[in-house]
């Protein structure tokens, strides 16, 4: 019996969930840490905002390449190996960032980090989705996504409290420690049995199997892939319009100290954790599409209140903090991507499809921090960040172009 045919989760299920979740925590920590260190990096390396935006945008673009690369490797060589490779890549990329001496060296090391970051999410989500029973897939896929707010919280603590004392280089150098996860994954985790079953069936077939990328772009899967890419692009735009300059917005336009900015970001991440955690239960009960729409609306409302309507909401401190919490809670919609995308594509291309759609959408965000910086020159960072609300609402509407996949058995 396959793991996803179990009546209830076993110790093996939770082991897969734990290490996939831990990989995602430090994956997102390494990606977002740069945003919390923009000030001291720019000051020491004499880099203006525009050049820092190019580095941030390029690292996001690199996640697209990482998603495709490691997606193909995972579909060919297994989830377990690919998960280890992605963790090592982003850990050492971040380590090398601590030794950057100029714009180009920092750019190179952020690209290396981005490659690993782009591969980990889809590999971990594929691992979890192929292991848990269909009736519980939504909640456990969403639970894995709670690693994102935990990662942001850790980056916030590093940027707000470690960097002022030890410096930004120390924050990057310490970030190599997650590479130790590979030791435990290698010794403790089994390979996805659904992938092994599909591999055995493919080995016994006389037909030559086309590459996962060509299969994904075939007429059978092309339309669904493009729909998935549009959904992910809309949501990624909502997310990165919000978070790429949110710490800078609080620091520069609302005149918060680095520590206070970090504390307020922690409020959004507390909301994010609860949003991701609750999304899966909502999606398993009511369906993927209603859950996406509801959480998208919540994010949009919160985002508008902490940007365009800041003066109104900030009249009562508890109210503005509530809307900061709501921004994070609404991002819980990202908890649905692993289950939804995993249910749309077969095992032979699942990791490639998930990694490519999710990370191409993130790669497009190369332009987001640059665009926000440009808008900020004329209208303020808050105006640029507020555009995330439009993209969140658009994603909540677009998800209804998909079939409902709640409870679908994986092929």
Residue 91 confidence (pLDDT): 92
Residue at 409 is within a domain: no
Residue 369 confidence (pLDDT): 67
Q: Which value, in Å, is the radius of gyration of the alpha carbons in the chain?
A: 20
Residue 390 confidence (pLDDT): 93
Q: Do 296 and 337 touch, CB atoms closer than 8 A?
A: no
Give CA–CA dist 260/319, Å, rounded: 17
Residue at 410 is within a domain: no
Any idea what the CATH number is for the domain that residue 201 is in? 1.20.1250.20
Q: Do 198 and 347 touch, CB atoms closer than 8 A?
A: yes
Residue 377 confidence (pLDDT): 75
φ, ψ dihedrals at 41, nearest 5°: -65, -50
Query: Count of H helices and E strands in the chain?
Result: 23, 0
Tens of pLDDT along the chain (411 residues) come to: 788 888 888 999 999 999 899 999 998 898 888 878 888 898 899 988 788 888 887 888 888 899 889 988 998 899 899 999 999 999 999 999 999 999 999 999 999 999 998 888 888 889 998 999 888 888 998 888 888 888 888 888 888 888 888 999 999 998 888 888 888 888 888 888 888 988 887 776 656 667 888 888 888 899 999 999 999 999 989 988 887 778 778 877 887 877 787 788 888 888 988 999 899 999 999 999 999 999 999 999 999 998 989 888 888 888 989 999 999 999 999 888 988 999 999 888 998 898 888 888 887 777 776 777 777 777 777 878 888 899 999 999 999 999 999 888 887
Residue at 63 is within a domain: yes
Q: Do 336 and 288 touch, CB atoms closer than 8 A?
A: yes
Residue at 336 is within a domain: yes
Q: Do 117 and 66 touch, CB atoms closer than 8 A?
A: yes
Q: How many CB atoms lie within 10 A of CB 259?
A: 13
Residue at 411 is within a domain: no
Residue 211 confidence (pLDDT): 81
Give CA–CA dist 272/151, Å, rounded: 11
Residue 392 confidence (pLDDT): 95
Question: In the chain, how many domains are there?
Answer: 1
Contacts of 393 (CB under 8 A, 6+ apart): 296, 297, 300
pTM for the model stands at 0.81
Residue at 406 is within a domain: no
Q: Which domain holds residue 41?
A: 9-401
């Amino acid at each position: 019996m396959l793991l996803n045919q179990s009546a209830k989760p076993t110790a093996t299920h939770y082991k897969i969930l734990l290490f996939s979740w831990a990989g995602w925590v430090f994956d997102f920590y390494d990606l977002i840490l740069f945003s919390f260190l923009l000030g001291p990096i720019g000051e020491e390396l004499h880099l203006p905002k525009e050049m820092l935006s190019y580095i941030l945008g390029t690292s996001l673009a690199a996640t697209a390449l990482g998603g495709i690369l490691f997606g193909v490797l995972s579909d060919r060589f297994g989830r377990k190996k690919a998960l280890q490779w992605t963790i090592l890549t982003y850990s050492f990329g971040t380590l090398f960032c601590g030794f950057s001496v100029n714009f180009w060296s920092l750019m190179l090391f952020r690209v290396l980090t981005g490659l690993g970051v782009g591969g980990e999410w889809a590999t971990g989500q594929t691992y979890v989705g192929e292991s848990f029973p269909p009736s519980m897939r939504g909640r456990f896929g969403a639970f894995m996504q709670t690693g994102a707010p935990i990662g942001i919280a850790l980056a916030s603590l590093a940027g707000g409290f470690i960097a002022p004392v030890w410096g930004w280089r120390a924050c990057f150098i310490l970030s190599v420690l997650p590479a130790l996860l590979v030791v435990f994954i290698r010794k403790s985790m089994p390979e996805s049995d659904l992938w092994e079953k599909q591999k055995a069936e493919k080995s016994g077939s006389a037909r030559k199997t086309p590459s996962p990328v060509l299969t994904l772009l075939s007429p059978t899967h092309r339309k669904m892939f493009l729909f998935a890419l549009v959904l992910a692009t809309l949501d990624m735009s909502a997310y990165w319009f919000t978070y790429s300059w949110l710490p800078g917005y609080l620091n520069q336009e609302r005149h918060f100290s680095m520590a206070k900015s970090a504390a307020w970001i922690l409020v959004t991440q507390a909301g994010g954790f609860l949003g991701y955690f609750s999304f899966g239960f909502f999606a398993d009960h009511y369906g993927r599409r209603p859950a996406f729409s509801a959480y998208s609306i919540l994010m949009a409302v919160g985002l508008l209140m902490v940007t365009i309507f800041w003066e109104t909401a900030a009249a009562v401190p508890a109210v503005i903090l509530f809307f900061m919490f709501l921004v994070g809670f609404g991002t819980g919609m990202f908890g649905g991507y692993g289950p939804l995308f995993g249910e749309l594509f077969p095992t032979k291309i699942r990791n490639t499809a998930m990694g490519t759609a999710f990370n191409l959408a993130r790669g497009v965000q190369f332009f987001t921090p640059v665009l926000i910086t440009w808008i900020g020159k004329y209208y303020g960072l808050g105006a640029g960040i507020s555009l995330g609300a439009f993209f969140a609402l658009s994603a909540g509407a677009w998800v209804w172009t998909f079939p409902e996949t709640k409870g679908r058995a994986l092929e």
